[in-house]
Amino acid sequence: MQPLPHGYTNRTTGDGRVVVKHYCGPEAEARLAREERLLTGLRERLPVPPVLAADRAALTLGHLPGVPAQDLLDAGHGPRVLAACGLVLGRLQQLDPAVSGEPVTAPGAVLVHGDFGPNNLLLDPDTFAVTAVLDWEFAHAGDPVEDLAWCEWIVRMHHPDRGGDLDHLFRAYGRPVPPWPVRRRAMLAKCAWLEDFCRRRDPDGPGVRQWRDRSRATAAWADAG
């Protein structure tokens, strides 16, 4: 088993047949249980990895084909990658949010992935169809803007040269796009949540400062329309 790239919160290894995800940090067991529940509940509704085995520390998942969408984004395929993101997000938000395992009380609540973006999608490099939506450990019932805004944030923060392609995300999404102040507010709320997550993991670790700096950078972004 070899370490897999693009993992940040947890330790993930694979051998081309299976992927083993070892959960680290705050509420690790709860996040594992949530992801197992989501992957099991969504198996016939979205392209997600099958759960092959589970214990208190790790999930063993079936390997799915595809190329990380962020790699295709960096390779210059911004319009097609972001259109794929918008299409699958529209599908995701049509599902019953109760699959998250949480009570759904807010009007208009949808299933929120919790870390949605090209960082957690695999795509067919020929057709750009989504072959897998990964990493459901932060899923919950919530506001539709959360995942849309976070996908936009991932592009603006980590792939700034592809910011001009975001219209492809919004068009493919197929739902009304909230105005920029609403999207940025959702981005800042997520940055603050991740700063707190890092603080609970390691109060003096670099993640706390990193997310504080990212919040400042996000707050300074000009009106994106």
pLDDT single digits (tens) 182-225: 999 999 999 999 999 999 999 999 999 999 999 999 999 987 65
Do residues 165 and 156 touch, judged by C-beta distance below 8 A?
A: no
Tokens of 63: 């390997």
- Please list the residue range(s) of the chain that carry CATH number 3.90.1200.10: 67-181
Higher pLDDT: 9 or 186? It is: 186
CATH 3.40.50.300 fits 2-62, yes or no: no
Q: Does domain 67-181 have CATH number 3.40.50.2300?
A: no
Residue 41: exposure state from Cβ atoms within 10 A (0-12, 13-18, ≥19): buried
Which pLDDT value is given to residue 5?
Answer: 73
The whole-angstrom separation of Cα 5 and Cα 20 is 13
| The pLDDT of residue 224 | 65
Q: Which residue has the tokens 């259109």?
A: 83
Band (pLDDT 50/70/90 cuts) for residue 165 is very high
Q: What mean pLDDT do residues 145-156 have?
A: 98
The overall average pLDDT reported for the chain is 95
- Say what percent of the chain tops pLDDT 90: 89
- Which residues, 6+ apart, have CB-to-CB distance to 27 below 8 Å? none
For residues 101-130, give the mean pLDDT.
94
Boundaries of CATH 3.30.200.20 in the chain?
2-62
